[in-house]
Amino acid sequence: MAIWTGEDGRLFLLQTKDSTYQMYADRHGVLLHTYYGKRIGEENLSDLIFQADVGFSGNPAEAVMDRTYSLDCLPQELPSSGVGDYRGGCVELLHSDGSMAADFRFEGYEILPYSYQVPGMPSLFDTNEETGQTLIIRMKERASEVRAYLYYGIFEEKNVITKAVRIENHGKSPVVLSKCLSGCLDFQYGEYELITFPGRHAMERSLERNKVGRTKLEVGSIRGTSSHQYNPAVILCTPGTTEDHGECYGECLVYSSNFIASAQKDQRGQIRVLMGIHPEQFSFCLNEGEAFDTPQVILSYSDEGFTKLSRQYHRILKEHMCRGKYCRQKRPVLLNNWEATYFDFNEEKLLKIARQASELGIEMLVLDDGWFGKRDDDNSGLGDWYVNEKKLGGSLKQLGEKIHAMGMCFGIWFEPEMISEDSDLYRQHPDWALRIPGREPNRARNQLVLDMSREDVREYLLERLTDILANAPIDYVKWDMNRSLCDIYSHVYTGKRRGEVYHRFILGVYDLLEKFLARFPDILLEGCSGGGGRFDAAMLYYSPQIWCSDNTDAVNRLSIQYGTSFFYPVSAMGAHVSATPNHQTGRETFFRTRGHVALSGSFGYELDLNKVTKEEQDLVKEQIADFHRYYSLTHEGDYYRLAGPEERFCAWEFVDREKEHALQTLVMTSAEGNPLPVHTIVKGLDPEKNYICSANGKIHSGRTWMNGGLTLGRILREYESILITWDAV
């Protein structure tokens, strides 16, 4: 049983295979957080909390003369706000009498033998292989009729615990939520560091590690997307934690819009970590009987460093978040025409590219931006989802059939959430765009954003998507989103509902995606937001792969894919071989290296293969053979980061679950005079089995390989790469 409640019905232990999470509702009904870490027994740890009379940290009335009892010092699950906890709480409430206070106390609990689903939002789901369990803790606000329900989901075997909060107004008067986070994690003792994944467009998810002190560490997004700039996933770790050693905790928010994640030490050295929807420009009005649900946050703990933590996230996301047949089924090797032609294509060009691609073994042609409306550059046409038959020299159906006749699948690009001012849609429905009346809007890529909170907007988009897909043989859709939101003003959600628009926008996106996939369940969807601007757990619910970055430079991709791998599975990272010199960086790299880097992702090409040499065309065949040969390792195997992108060479490895095969990719990141040898370590083998290594043909036991490693027999040139295999004999 993953959930254990103490005899008094106030102690709660959530047990996973290797971790324990503990809470205790004290005599005043405050839900204390008493432990999260390595698995322990079923004992009450609330006596770890040391209470003292702390100056300027007041005491609630019910403590009477006990000056040591202060909400400002206790580790809590749903910290209050406005009533004496100064560390920043989860929920802020504005009551109809003008007061601002939220003080939730324990009322009771319930256990469900399955995992909860957050209404209208992606959540981890049960499968035949593993069913989660749910603990719901009921809390009541002390001076009003507002109720909070704390949801805890436990996936015991996966070492995962989830949290979400539901707020309900049971009173007659409306209340306004001005902040509602998904979770608080309080640490009473210990020193920690916070790892975040900052970046920018085309350089997403690098890694930053900072000591948690009294100065608040905070990342977030107010762009209406999870963003290129910060990712809604953070790690808290003990100093010195490495890939294989040390304690670390992951927090990953299942949300694709504004978020905040912060960590700070309080006056007594306790650390509070908060995560959830960003409170800026957020408020949600709850009339009598109305409810608000936060997105889910996925927690996981490892006492064996980052490799184990990442594996736990990879498994839970692959098995309990990704849906649809392509979640397990092999995905076709694709060729996307974007970097091959940009907007400058016609039927002849596309067919020539497709013909060559199919001869080399590519399995799908993706027609990117520019096939609809008036769209020969990025200044017009968005919203007019009608096929430009003149440009295509016929219908999309005819084009799709010709591609299918070559033995390939056919995919197309959409950017449903956007609208160009130069479009028929905008001329007909200017009020469908997010813009503030009387103010010039901010334009990005010369486009505006549709008000996805509106049902009529979503109905239009669903009708257009359905019409296009029902009338052409389309197997894949790339769902793009190419700007950040601002000028938030909806003609539907006005007045006191104004602060709901950001959240309702993303609920609208989820609603449209859900309806679209219900209508076309076999479509392979690839998420995209100018590359990796919406690379988050929630989008994986709809699309098992996400275009990882608009940067296709193989060397930059080392750091982008490295940072992405801390939470997200390799199978989710869209990665393509593109032309050299690279279009984003001008860098020249070997064709082979571009292939090796892209093979550790959702593999494809993004160039005109008529324009490469015969030798490179042969390499395409080789790479596709490698893709098929190693697919089960790269997409289902365990992943190990061996050497990071900042090192002399970058290396990573996959090992299958049976420990029969391992594949290592190694890329030289710099050249040096008087070069040093390349010695690589090997991880994850079975110490008792013997393995033959492709690099030198030697056979050793797994124990020997893992301890002695491998020295390459020659020096690799700058950006040269190598694939090395170990196979059990």
Residues marked active site are found at 536, 616
- Measured CA to CA, the distance from residue 187 to residue 36 in angstroms comes to 8
Per CB under 6 A, the list member of 530, 569, 601, 604 interacting with ligand DGJ is 530
Beta carbon of residue 339, minimum distance to ligand DGJ (angstroms, whole number): 8
Total residues contacting ligand DGJ by CB under 6 A comes to 11
Closest to ligand DGJ by CB, 598 or 695:
598
- Of 175-183, 253-261, 526-534, 607-615, the segment contacting ligand DGJ by CB under 6 A is 526-534
- Of 11-19, 258-266, 528-536, 679-687, the segment contacting ligand DGJ by CB under 6 A is 528-536
Closest to ligand DGJ by CB, 22 or 549:
549
Closest to ligand DGJ by CB, 544 or 574:
574
Residue 276 is a binding residue for ligand DGJ (CB under 6 A)? no
C-beta nearest to ligand DGJ: residue: 369
Per CB under 6 A, the list member of 203, 298, 528, 572 interacting with ligand DGJ is 528
Tokens linked to 604: 């494809």
Query: Do residues 613 and 565 touch, judged by C-beta distance below 8 A?
Result: no
Report the 10 Å Cβ neighbour count for 289: 10
Residue 247 is a binding residue for ligand DGJ (CB under 6 A)? no
Closest CA to 186 of 262, 260, 81: 262
Closest to ligand DGJ by CB, 263 or 409:
409
Tokens linked to 677: 């040898």
Closest to ligand DGJ by CB, 137 or 528:
528
Residue 371 is a binding residue for ligand DGJ (CB under 6 A)? no
Beta carbon of residue 509, minimum distance to ligand DGJ (angstroms, whole number): 17
Per CB under 6 A, the list member of 451, 550, 608, 638 interacting with ligand DGJ is 550
Closest to ligand DGJ by CB, 298 or 353:
353
| Inter-axis angle of helices 591-599 and 554-564, nearest 10 | 10
Per CB under 6 A, the list member of 547, 568, 705, 719 interacting with ligand DGJ is 547
Query: Do residues 507 and 524 touch, judged by C-beta distance below 8 A?
Result: no
Using a 10 angstrom Cβ sphere, with 0-12 exposed, 13-18 middle and 19 or more buried, the burial of residue 325 is: exposed
Write out the H or E segment, with its range, that includes residue 470: helix 455-470
Can you give the length of the chain in residues?
729
Residue 413 is a binding residue for ligand DGJ (CB under 6 A)? yes
What residues contact residue 443 under an 8 Å CB cut-off, 6+ apart? none
**Paired strand residues for 450:** 433
Closest to ligand DGJ by CB, 332 or 499:
332
Helices and strands (H and E) in the chain: how many: 12, 38
Beta carbon of residue 531, minimum distance to ligand DGJ (angstroms, whole number): 5
431: three-class secondary structure by DSSP: helix
Write out the H or E segment, with its range, that includes residue 524: strand 524-527
- Measured CA to CA, the distance from residue 663 to residue 652 in angstroms comes to 8
Beta carbon of residue 478, minimum distance to ligand DGJ (angstroms, whole number): 6
Closest to ligand DGJ by CB, 267 or 446:
446
CA distance to 248, 319, 408, 460, 627, per residue, from 305 (Å): 6, 22, 43, 48, 29
Residue 338 is a binding residue for ligand DGJ (CB under 6 A)? yes
Amino acid at 465: L
Per CB under 6 A, the list member of 480, 536, 553, 638 interacting with ligand DGJ is 480
- Of 180-188, 327-335, 524-532, 716-724, the segment contacting ligand DGJ by CB under 6 A is 524-532
Query: Do residues 224 and 505 touch, judged by C-beta distance below 8 A?
Result: yes
- Measured CA to CA, the distance from residue 506 to residue 468 in angstroms comes to 23
Residue 243 is a binding residue for ligand DGJ (CB under 6 A)? no
- Of 290-298, 428-436, 487-495, 525-533, the segment contacting ligand DGJ by CB under 6 A is 525-533
Residue 369 is a binding residue for ligand DGJ (CB under 6 A)? yes
Report the 10 Å Cβ neighbour count for 618: 12
Residue 531 is a binding residue for ligand DGJ (CB under 6 A)? yes
Chain residues binding ligand DGJ by CB under 6 A are 338, 368-369, 413, 480, 482, 528, 530-531, 547, 550
